[in-house]
Amino acid sequence: MLITIKNVLSKAQVAAARKMLLDADWTDGNVTAGYQSAKAKQNLQLPENSATARELGDVILAALAQSNRFMSAALPLKIFPPLFNCYQGGQSFGTHVDNAIRQVPGTPVKVRTDISMTLFLSEPEEYDGGELTIEDTYGTHSVKLGAGDMVLYPSTSLHRVTPVTRGRRLASFFWLQSMISSDEKRALLFDMDMAIQSLRESLDDSQEIVQLTGVYHNLIRQWAQT
């Protein structure tokens, strides 16, 4: 399931984040790459332990906590702290799959990567290339969103970032472990929740809506891993 979420960050938040990132000290992106990914990865990355990464990561997580669409699509259990990268001067990330398990640095916490996320911090017209290309059973999808918008997709997907041939592509990327490990089950729950919310907007609560809501939560009880 590939889901986009508009305006996770406001334009003011994006502007503040960009200023902090452009003033930050960057390092080689291979610091967080696995063996296979390291062969394909060419970019810059903000050190995970930098004050800028922690501060901006907290802003992003606070914004996501207020997003009903994110909560419905992800059903998060554990979230890996947001990381930040930069592509420029022809840099790219070849086709790869994300590591299955990520350990939060400095802690014993391990996160199974069910969902991968990219939050764009540069506007599409500011750079050429840099599309996030995701492969799934329905084909290949090219994603290049506005600054402040985010895409979620299964971490099992093969994906790549095409070369940035003009300008600079700034983004945050991170992963989460969902209460529902199955992408197919998450998709069913998301569709049901979106339908229930839509019904609530157009109709007063009825017995049927209450029953559907009960089915939704009972499916979560049956499928959730906590």
Residues 223, 212: Cα–Cα separation, whole Å = 17
Annotated binding-site residue numbers for Fe cation? 96, 98, 159
Structural contact between residues 144 and 130, judged by C-beta atoms closer than 8 angstroms: yes
Annotated binding-site residue numbers? 96, 98, 159, 169
| Sign of CA pseudo-dihedral 149, 153, 155, 161 | negative
Annotated binding-site residue numbers for 2-oxoglutarate? 169
Residue 20 corresponds to which amino acid? M
Per-residue pLDDT of the chain (226 residues; tens, 9 = 90+): 999 999 999 999 999 999 999 999 999 877 655 555 566 789 999 998 899 999 999 999 999 999 999 999 999 999 999 999 999 999 999 999 999 999 999 999 999 999 999 999 999 999 999 999 999 888 899 999 999 999 999 999 999 999 999 999 999 999 999 999 999 999 999 999 999 999 988 887 788 899 999 999 999 999 999 8
Q: CA 121: distance to chain centroid?
A: 13
State the Cα torsion 98-99-100-105 to the nearest 10°: -120
Burial of residue 211, with CB atoms counted within 10 A of its CB: 0-12 exposed, 13-18 middle, 19 or more buried: exposed
